[in-house]
Amino acid sequence: MMKPHKTSILVIDDESDIRNSLKEFLEDFGYEVTEAGHAEEALELLESRDFDLAIVDLRLPGMSGDVFILEAAKRTLKMKYLIHTGSVGYRLSIELLELGLTNDDVFHKPIEDLMTLIDKIGVLLKNDE
């Protein structure tokens, strides 16, 4: 008997408090969550396993979050992306728009109602079924 697939989420943020709180919150909803403190670490994780979705901070040490998304998209077609940023004036680049990201995929820190994140994850992953 096959084990049902548990949705796996990769949380990338250089602030450990934010990573940990997102991880704990998402795990409360039954998601399997892996953390990365920077984009290069996240790309290494992609070499050994698949994720359904990545929640990506933009301002990271080294490679930025938007560059990570572009690199990750070259490696895996199935992963979806949400941007979690403190940059209030952030606008999606043409390259990210071409990948299918929309303004609805951008969440500004702090997220006042984390249920909006859960709802968006549900919508993104349901479209993938």
Rounded to whole angstroms, how far apart are CA atoms 84 and 86?
7
Whole-number pLDDT of residue 129: 53
Average pLDDT score over the chain = 93
CB 57 within 8 A of CB 12: yes
How far apart CA 64 and CA 68 sit, in angstroms, is: 6
Pick the CATH number of 8-126 from 3.40.1160.10, 3.30.750.24, 3.40.630.30, 3.40.50.2300: 3.40.50.2300
Is pLDDT at 127 greater than 80 in this prediction? no
Percentage of the chain beyond pLDDT 70 is 94
Tell me what the mean pLDDT of segment 52-78 comes to.
95
Q: Could you tell me the residue ranges of all domains in the chain?
A: 8-126
Contact between 93 and 66 (Cβ < 8 Å): yes
Q: Tens of pLDDT along 11-44?
A: 999 999 999 999 999 999 999 999 999 999 999 9
CB 58 within 8 A of CB 108: no
Give the pLDDT confidence score for residue 126 in this predicted structure: 87
User: Can you give the pTM of this predicted structure?
Assistant: 0.93
